[in-house]
Structure formats: structure tokens, C-alpha cells
Amino acid sequence: MKVSFNTVNIDGLDVFYRAAGDPGAPAILLLHGFPTASHMFRDLIPELAASYRVVAPDLPGFGMTQQPDRSAFSYTFETITKVVERFTEALGLESFAIYVFDYGAPIGFRLALNHPERIRAIISQNGNAYLEGVSEAFAPIQAYWNAPTPANRDALRGFLTPRTTLLQYTHGVSDPSLVSPDGRNLDDFYLARPGNDEIQLDLLGDYKTNVALYGAFQAYLRKAQPPLLAIWGRNDPFFLPAGAEAFKRDLPDAEVRFVDSGHFALETHAREIGAAMREFLAARMR
């Protein structure tokens, strides 16, 4: 199994991505969340590449993808979705499954709204589309949505600190010694780049547009009935188990599973999640 590390220019923006598997095999698009990048999939990709073409981009403002200045690029979920949409077209991904996590969820669901015919299946790993899944940890962010003052914006800077990154990786993990420091240290490195703090605050503020689209996401699920596997770290302090169970309201055939981990469940359960994905996709991605 070989993983290649590539860059493709999307309308003037250099997008970094990891790829593995037979280019002719059914495709899976892996969409990361905050504050990480495609390196979060380093243990999952080998679990999938024998049977699937696996592609994992770094989103604009994250990882190795180019970070244009805020004066030249609008850091909103709508804009990032357009970049990912053009990215899939540049790579010739005409239909694919999506693995959505954290920020990757609203981006993946926006893709599905724009092109439902392209989405063959959805794997949601702590990727929310229901109010039931939103925890009290979002309260400071919601305060900024309701009153986007400089003080409320500054109050969110705590989300960008190494202490918070560590919490995201280790909260709810029974044995934190099993969580490699590599991923979170890379995340902190990228967060510390000049100007990245303001980019992240822009996105935290714009997340309210995703919540506003929850009704549209749910309508898509009811109409399109895509195969969906929700496999969540049950101890996530941000996206609660109720958010996974809620998928069954619109998708009665959805599969819902939990692993005994936190937000970054792949850090401790990549093998289990990979096996669940292979089992789930085997009859749906021939």
C-alpha cells in the first residue's frame, strides 16, 4: 500500500492531498475537521486502500494547503465547499462516498446538497447535522454568533491554544497514552502560523451558517436516502451521541455505532472504524 502526497491547483489555490489505492476503484473522500488536516487519516487510509481509491485533502487554511490572506480569500464554509467541489472535479471524482468529521460534516453535506447524484454513501464520524448533537461546549461560539463583537471574538481564542488541542485529543479516552502526540503537535504548528488565528475565528463565526442549514441537510437525507454509517466516539465533549442517533429519524436504515473514545476517535480506534467501513461499504460500493 502506497500513499502519495500531492498538490493540485484549484482556481489559483494550491490544495495539498493524500491519495492511495487503485485510481479505478470506488472512491472515498475523507474530509477532516478543526483544527487538524489530512494527517488525521494516516491510520485509516491503510485500512481502506486495498479496496478503494482514497483521497484526503487539506482544507484551505489548514495543513499543507495554501493559506491565502483573508483579504484575498473568504474563509467561509460556502467558499471552502466550492474549493472541495472543484477539487473533486479536478481529480475526476464523479461519484464517491464521503467520510465526514467535525468541520468536514457541513462541507460534505453542502456537497451533497449541490450534487446529490455524486454521493454514494456517507460515513459520519462525530460529524453533526442535528441540534441534538450540539453540546454546551458551543456556548461561547454561539455568543459570538448572536453578538459578533470584538470581545466575543477574543473570547474564542482559547479554542486555538495547545491546551484545547490536547483536550480535544484526549478527553473521553480511557488511556491517553495511546494517543500519539504527532497529530496534535502538527495541529498546534499549523494554528501558530501568522494570520491563522484570525482565519480560525472567521470560521468559528461562520459555523452558524451550517446550523442554519441543518433543516436542508435533513431534507436531503429524507429525499435521497443515502446509505449512512454514523460511527462516533461516544465521549466527544462537542458532538454528543444524540447527534448520531438523530440520523435514524430521517434515515431509518442508517447504521449507528459507537466506540469508546472521544472527538478524535481515529487516534485510538482506526482499525475498528476501518473494519466497520469496509463491512458497511462492501454491499454499497461495488
Tell me which residues are annotated as active site.
263
Give me 219's grid cell. 431534507
CA distance 106 to 152: 23
Give φ, ψ of 13 to 5 degrees: -110, 125
Is the alpha carbon torsion for 7, 8, 11, 12 positive or negative? positive
Give me 174's grid cell. 480511557
* Residues 67 and 42: beta-carbon distance below 8 Å: no
Residues 6+ apart with CB under 8 A from 164: 158
The CA-to-CA distance between both ends of the chain, in Å, stands at 20
Complete DSSP assignment for 46-83: HHHTTTSEEEEEPPTTSTTS----TTTS--SHHHHHHH
CA distance 99 to 35: 17
User: What is the radius of gyration, based on Cα positions, of the chain?
Assistant: 17
